[in-house]
């Protein structure tokens, strides 16, 4: 039995201008990493439900938030914070050594342009995951992604689901239908080694203006 939670978020109401790439290069010191990320984004954009401009914005949000966090004196190199943005919904996962740092991470992230919501799943603990745990998490993410290719749902594309794993807890992000979201979470919960599933999906049918959170058992 695996714990399963979900965070439902509202759909984006407008498309972003593709010229954002050039503009961002003028204002960000990390133009080269952004360009590399942008090139990767081009390859996946054909299957993504986000606009190309939004994909680039998400890449930029991840870079900017990560930079802003680690230039903050309170955040140390021993703190492990994964930053993943999908359609402006930013997941923070990993470990920090105090509740104050966890709260600070939310505050810093929420101030970055194009961040619509912050889902802070940081664990407060002194024992930061070591190399062995991180490697295990990467392999587990790979098994989860592979398992999603076995889902038989009309119109479903497994590449639209972003998978992040920390300490065997799998976080799922992406723009999906409710049917897709439930099927994905069910399949992931049955992958060997997964100890919990957290859904941070944005449902494309939703017209709700509020984030709904639910916790269930699978």
Mean pLDDT, to the nearest integer, of 41-60?
83
What's the pTM?
0.77
113 pLDDT more than 60: yes
Tell me: pLDDT of 120 over 80.
Answer: yes
Domain range spanning residue 70? 3-217
| Residue 83 near residue 194, CB atoms below 8 Å | no
DSSP 3-state percent helix, strand, coil across the chain (nearest 5): 40, 25, 35
Q: By three-state DSSP, how is residue 59 classified?
A: helix
How do residues 173-214 score in pLDDT, each as one tens digit?
A: 999 999 999 999 999 999 999 999 999 999 998 655 433 433
User: What's the domain count of the chain?
Assistant: 1
d(CA 73, CA 70): 7
């Amino acid at each position: 039995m695996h714990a399963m939670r979900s965070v439902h978020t509202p759909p984006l109401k407008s498309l972003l201008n593709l010229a954002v790439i050039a503009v961002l290069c003028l204002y960000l010191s990390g133009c080269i990493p952004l360009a590399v990320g942008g090139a990767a984004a081009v390859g996946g954009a054909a299957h993504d439900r986000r606009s190309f401009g939004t994909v680039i914005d998400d890449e930029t949000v991840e870079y900017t938030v990560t930079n802003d966090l680690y230039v903050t004196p309170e955040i140390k190199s021993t703190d492990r914070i994964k930053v993943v943005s999908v359609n402006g919904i930013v997941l923070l996962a990993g470990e920090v050594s105090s509740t104050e740092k966890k709260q600070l991470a939310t505050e810093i992230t929420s101030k970055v342009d194009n961040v619509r919501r912050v889902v802070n799943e940081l664990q407060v603990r002194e024992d930061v995951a070591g190399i062995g745990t991180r490697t295990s998490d990467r392999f587990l993410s790979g098994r989860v992604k592979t398992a999603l290719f076995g889902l038989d749902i009309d119109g479903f594309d497994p590449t639209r689901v972003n998978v992040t794993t920390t300490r065997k807890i799998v976080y799922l992000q992406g723009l999906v239908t409710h049917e897709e979201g439930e099927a994905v979470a069910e399949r992931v919960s049955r992958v060997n080694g997964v100890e919990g599933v957290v859904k941070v999906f944005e449902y494309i049918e939703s017209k709700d203006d509020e984030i709904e959170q639910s916790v269930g058992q699978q």
